[in-house]
Chains A and B, each alone.
Chain A
């Protein structure tokens, strides 16, 4: 008994000493530190001559191909105009230069131009060769095709024939691009409006919004993929659409064309379709642990409700288009437009 009391006493002393030490340390840390001496900020850098803006123009072929191989940081704006001329304006950035890579054999006008940093070799080989600035504004013929590779760039493209954008981060907006779009940004959203052609949109952690979009030639595909963003497709009139998201939602509002193939996938997110009452499609839905509900009357052809592997084959109207819906645990809903 005495031995036990002695042990208890020993541990009590140890606990008291630990508590005392911790309290004194905390008190020392929390004590106000003496005011730091004031450090004056360094003076602003002297203005570099011709650094405020630079401007270049070049007469080109109306279907010129513009290539911006590397933009490190800028707000880029490309606008189509009715002149057969390219104009590049850089504000507070590295001056740009227009290098002609190819000329049209008939007209002799440049039909392939590289826009690069002045003094660089024209190829994006090192970070110092990349264009940068507060703003890079480009005017180009309406029939031009634009290719942009950027790091942290916010890109706005309006009224050109075709656009290809690959961007590490930043928002991409495209409007009135009738000859097809490929836009890929890893962190940022993509907005496409009033455009046509084969469209491929992809982002890792941003939303995708496409509206008033249609195919140009027969068989052109619309693809939209994001990992954790929401995909919204409004009035997208492609005969073939593939859209998929992992943890975001997928929203479609529009008409299914006769003979079309529509494939919508999500892992966790909801799939919401707002369809007109005249819709005619065949539905093949696989919804694992998810659910399906519909406002639109449909004829169930085959339904399998087994845990984890639910599926529905149904017909709306005469079943002209094929609609495939796949989700692991999302909710599928079909509503009237």
Chain B
């Protein structure tokens, strides 16, 4: 620490939350009065913001910094202070049922409600028959084997109108049925681990090729109709298709075997071909502009 101002190390410790509370208090008090220290603090804060912004992902992923611990602590405190829904319900209902008249009225209400529910949920044959006039007649047969579930559902989906469809009845437990339904809805290919070569991984230097191509393509696509006459356009599109196909094929090979130097060289060569092709359109446009 100098005579008047704080050293940058202390300011940095303060910004990182590593300074002692007394020191932090002194520093803020001093910065409020001292223009130079306030400037130093602001600059350090800006630098911190830039650095943390750039390294945010890495820091958050790898280093449990003070900020991370602070946010975890804050989240834990919030969790503890939160009152659960059932506690709130209990707090409302218990005083009500303390009064005997309210308890009796509530009981009657519950009994009436249950009766109404079961009465309305009872099946109505007339309604079902009226709403499904084209459904084939269903014959219920008792099947002891559990494997009938899948086949029965398939039969229903492929049922021809006018044909009698048999529906199997199983004796599965509810848990077993639930498991079968979940498995039936599950898409087997969805959660399967993708092969390594399909996971998009850029090769060294590939990104710059891709960026250059994207920039050139954006520039060319909008103007190629004006720049190229029909025959040149056909030739251009054909060559681009050839190069795109080469890139696609070589990419697959390189993804499967990233150590294959020959495939990588051919891939890079194809990228370069595409850049040359796109460049030729740009240069043509430049020449046209120069001659007009």
Contacts and interface: CB of A to CB of B under 8 A. Distances in A.
A304 interface: yes
A156 interface: no
A309 B280 CA distance: 28
Given A204-B232, A204-B284, A329-B246, A308 B253 contact: yes
B266 A326 contact: yes
Q: Chain A interface residue count: which class?
A: 35 or more
A162 interface: no
Contacts of B263: 286, 288, 306, 308-309
B159 to A, nearest CB: 20
A308 B252 contact: yes
Contacts, number: 116
B232 A149 contact: no
A268 interface: yes
A265 B271 CA distance: 12
Given A288-B266, A327-B266, A267 B287 contact: no
Nearest to B269: A326
Interface string A299-310: 000001011111
A130 B243 CA distance: 37
A173 B268 CA distance: 33
A327 B280 CA distance: 21
B121 interface: no
A326 B272 CA distance: 12
Contact of B276 (A149, A225, A288): A225
Contact of B260 (A166, A225, A309): A309
B235 interface: yes
A320 B67 CA distance: 63
Contacts of B254: 309
A205 interface: yes
Contacts of B270: 267, 328
A149 B260 contact: no
Given A268-B242, A286-B265, A288-B250, A204 B287 contact: no
Nearest to B250: A288
A289 interface: yes
Interface residues of chain B: helix, strand, loop or mixed (majority): helix
A310 B291 contact: no
A168 B284 CA distance: 7
Interface residues of B, number: 35
B287 A246 contact: no
B172 interface: no
A187 interface: yes
B291 A187 contact: no
Interface in A105-129: 124, 126-127
B239 A309 contact: no
Given A186-B284, A204-B232, A204-B236, A149 B243 contact: no
A246 B291 contact: no
Interface string A244-274: 1011000000000000000001011000000
B277 interface: yes
Contact of A228 (B238, B252, B276, B284): B238
A306 B291 contact: no
B261 interface: yes
Interface string A303-331: 01011111100000000000000111100
Contact of B277 (A246, A310, A327): A246
A204 B231 CA distance: 11
Contacts of A288: 246, 249-250, 253, 262-263, 266
Contact of B236 (A227, A244, A289): A227
Contact of B238 (A124, A247, A310, A329): A247
25 contacts: A124-B290, A127-B292, A149-B291, A151-B291, A168-B287, A186-B287, A187-B232, A205-B232, A227-B235, A227-B277, A244-B276, A246-B243, A246-B277, A286-B269, A287-B262, A288-B250, A304-B260, A309-B253, A309-B264, A311-B262, A326-B265, A326-B266, A328-B250, A328-B266, A328-B270
Given A204-B235, A309-B257, 6 more contacts: A168-B284, A288-B262, A288-B266, A304-B262, A307-B253, A309-B261
Interface of B: 231-232, 235-236, 238-239, 242-243, 246, 249-250, 252-254, 257, 260-266, 269-270, 273, 276-277, 280, 283-284, 287-288, 290-292
A-B residue pairs, 10 tightest by C-beta:
A309-B263, A311-B262, A308-B253, A309-B260, A286-B262, A328-B246, A288-B266, A205-B235, A286-B265, A309-B262
